Amino acid sequence: MPQSHLKINTLDHKKPLRILANIVSVVCHPVFMPVIMTFVLYGINRVSFGNITMKTMYSWTGILALNTIFFPLVTIFLLKRLNFIESIKLNNSKDRIIPLIATMIFYFWAYMVFKNMKQPEVAPQVLRIFLLGNFWGIIAIFMVNIFKKVSMHAAAAGGMIGILIVAMIVSRVNLFMPLMISLLIAGIIGSARLVLRAHTNGEIGLGYILGILAQLASYFYITRLINIFD
């Protein structure tokens, strides 16, 4: 059988897998993770959210969606239209510089909004930790991006794992199963990026590490250091 024919058959065989990987990459895109995980935290750990109603959660979702989904996507779209970046997929390190800087601003603003909320709808500690961890995670990705490309999908997945670890520490609710599910989802996300050849194993592993460490650092700062400074 000719070699070219074997190559075509191999590509056809992998096509469904690549389609599935693309779906996973879109559904679990980093831009959606803050909103998704806010609802997950509310669903699995109602105790930490106190008397916060679903109506309030919808209001908070609007604030988060505006700052962590709408503004970042509009920024990337405008940068593409103005030819400041080559692709909206941000495939290379150079394309990521301006979007990451803009996203830092949006994430910081989202954190400050929830940090400064007053009674009776004060944001729970676990949510403030999560939002600050997201902000610090973007800073970490930006700094590493100067020297090495890192998977933002994996970093978002690492942040998901990290905040669930934090939630297990600060809450009396048993979150072992959600943590195990998050590990499975993170593995699927990383595998999808490998299937698409968007990243190497090292870039994905580094993303996981940055995401987890950012959330743990945020927890340590808010629960320990901030009390010392106050």
pLDDT-derived band at 13 (thresholds 50, 70, 90) equals low
> What are 31-66's pLDDT values in tens digits?
999 999 999 999 998 888 888 889 999 999 999 999
Res 171: pLDDT: 84
pTM above 0.75, yes or no: yes
Contacts of 88 (CB under 8 A, 6+ apart): 76, 77, 80
Average pLDDT, the chain: 90
Percent of the chain residues past pLDDT 70, beyond the cut: 92
Task: Evaluate if residue 6 carries a pLDDT over 50.
Answer: no
In contact, 82 and 49? CB cutoff 8 Å: no
> What are 193-209's pLDDT values in tens digits?
999 998 999 999 999 99
Domain boundaries, the chain: 15-229
- 158-172: average pLDDT: 93
- 122-139: average pLDDT: 96
Task: Evaluate if residue 228 carries a pLDDT over 80.
Answer: no
Which helix (H) or strand (E) element contains residue 31? none
Res 48: pLDDT: 86
The CB-based long-range contact list for 146-151 (8 Å cut-off, 24+ gap) reads 146/93, 148/93, 148/203, 148/206, 149/92, 149/93, 149/199, 149/203, 150/203, 150/206, 150/207, 150/210, 151/190, 151/193, 151/198, 151/199, 151/203, 151/204, 151/206, 151/207
> What are 83-124's pLDDT values in tens digits?
999 998 888 888 999 999 999 999 999 999 999 998 777 999
Which DSSP state fits 173?
Answer: S
